[in-house]
Amino acid sequence: MPQLDGGGGMTTMIGAYEQSDAAKAAYDARYERILACARLEQPDRMPVAMQSFFWPATHGGITYQELMYDYEKAKKVCFDVVAEFEPDGVYPMLMGTNMGRSLELLEFKQLQWPGHGVGPMQPFQYLDREYMKAEEYDDFLFDPTGFYLHTYLPRVAGAFEGFDKLPDFPGLHYFRLVNGIRPFALPEVRASFEKIVAAAEETNVFFANHLDWVNQINAAGFPLINGGNSIAPYDFIADYFRGATGMMKDLFRHKEKLKQVLDKAAVFIARMTIANAKAANHPIVFIPIHWAPDAFMSPKQFEEFWWPSFRRLMMTLIEADLIPMPLWEADCTKRLEVIKDIPPGKCIYWFERTDMVKAFEVLGDRVALRGNLSPSLLTTGQPHEVDAAVKRLVDEVWRKGGKLILDGAFGIPDETPTPNVRAMFDAARKYAG
């Protein structure tokens, strides 16, 4: 049983694990550091977060494929990195990787992963394709659930292919219900349900393993940094429905339909996010963003198409007492003045390549910041260079009043040498501890 923060005294049980008084005190202190930053209050020291995908496999000496498929190995290597580096907030690592068996049973088509489509030591490969045609915007707007069942899910996951035979549910009423259920007896529909049940049963195993790992790190004194994930409405439609090419065309050819779809998506994304975060009993919501960078669209297009639905989503989460934590991928310097339009002390903004000093100058009185050590520095630099980069962030942001949660630009890259990760954590505690 983990006793990483000292033993002795009374213990409480978290799942199957004992939490000592010392571990509880450490947990509370770490969690409060993160929340204090979000409130724009000064914690006792600068917190350090740990986000990673396949790096625990690199560090633990297993393959990425094993991290995807082997529940016990994945749980061990992900616990070991937390125990060794003692972060203040931990990304729910297993939820980001350890789902290979479920993905296979779903016959998932939007992604390749280690052991399925790519080699055992290669990361995810997203397959950018058009999964919804432009002329199907009206179908989506009329009945999103029906569109999902009949059209979208059969396109993205083979297990759902029989669902294109399902009836139109809004038309089933009174005696029409009797005749309307006949498609459920079709062999292809039955086959789909069997596949989905098998995938759901495997996912229950996967989730139980994830929950056991969460209980394990919590008992040892380490909180998760976020309780759920979400997505920007624009990114949701671009990534998973229209594809990059289709979405860029829609900015010119289907402006009003696109705006309507984004507005509708913002509503059900918010509803799902709130439910999941409340179930997890954790207020911070991670939102990876990659369609907002300066290079992807003009400032005018950003303000017209991207920002309104995303701000609406964030405000809905804030009103539900949640803390949005968007990861602004790539360089978003030209967006800083626009994305400043939120209430102070309610969000954490994580920047990948945006200059953190500039971000602090514009946003320091509005949001806490997270990041943003360079991936190339972490993967190819030397420990003393990592130390110097951390010191710069401390000197230019933290010591000037910025509420900074230190992390990599997008967490710890998969290929990062362990000494560089150690240098990151050591430097944070040396300069802002």
Q: Which of 244, 334, 230, 246 is nearest to 289 (CA)?
A: 230
Instruction: pLDDT band for 102, please (50, 70, 90 cuts).
Output: very high
| The token pair that represents 354 in the structure block | 């945006």
pLDDT score recorded for residue 160: 98
DSSP 237-291: HIIIIIHHHHHHHHHHHSHHHHHHHHHHHHHHHHHHHHHHHHHHT--EEEEEE-S
Write the pLDDT tens digit of every residue in 378-407.
Answer: 999 999 999 999 999 999 999 999 999 999
First to last CA, the chain: 28
How many Å apart are CA 414 and CA 419, to the nearest integer? 14
Question: pLDDT at residue 4 above 70?
Answer: no
The sign of the CA dihedral 8, 12, 18, 20 is: negative
- Polymer length in residues for the chain: 433
pLDDT score recorded for residue 15: 94
8 A C-beta contact, residue 220 and residue 23:
yes
Weakest mean pLDDT among 6-15, 61-70, 108-117: 6-15
> Average pLDDT, whole number, for the chain?
96
Instruction: pLDDT band for 11, please (50, 70, 90 cuts).
Output: confident
Q: Which of 217, 229, 230 is nearest to 30 (CA)?
A: 217
Question: pLDDT at residue 3 above 80?
Answer: no
Question: pLDDT at residue 256 above 80?
Answer: yes
pLDDT score recorded for residue 7: 46
Q: Looking at domain 11-98+213-432, which of 3.30.200.20, 1.10.420.10, 3.10.20.30, 3.20.20.210 is its CATH number?
A: 3.20.20.210
Give how far Cα 51 sits from Cα of 56, 101, 132, 231, 331, Å: 10, 23, 32, 17, 19
Radius of gyration of the chain (CA): 23
| The token pair that represents 311 in the structure block | 């701000």
Instruction: pLDDT band for 9, please (50, 70, 90 cuts).
Output: low
Give how far Cα 281 sits from Cα of 110, 227, 278, 361, 380, Å: 30, 7, 5, 33, 38
8 A C-beta contact, residue 417 and residue 382:
no
| The token pair that represents 203 in the structure block | 């996912």
Residue % of the chain over a pLDDT of 90: 97
Spell out the domain ranges in the chain: 11-98+213-432
How many Å apart are CA 324 and CA 287, to the nearest integer? 7
Question: pLDDT at residue 27 above 90?
Answer: yes
Across 362-371, average pLDDT = 98
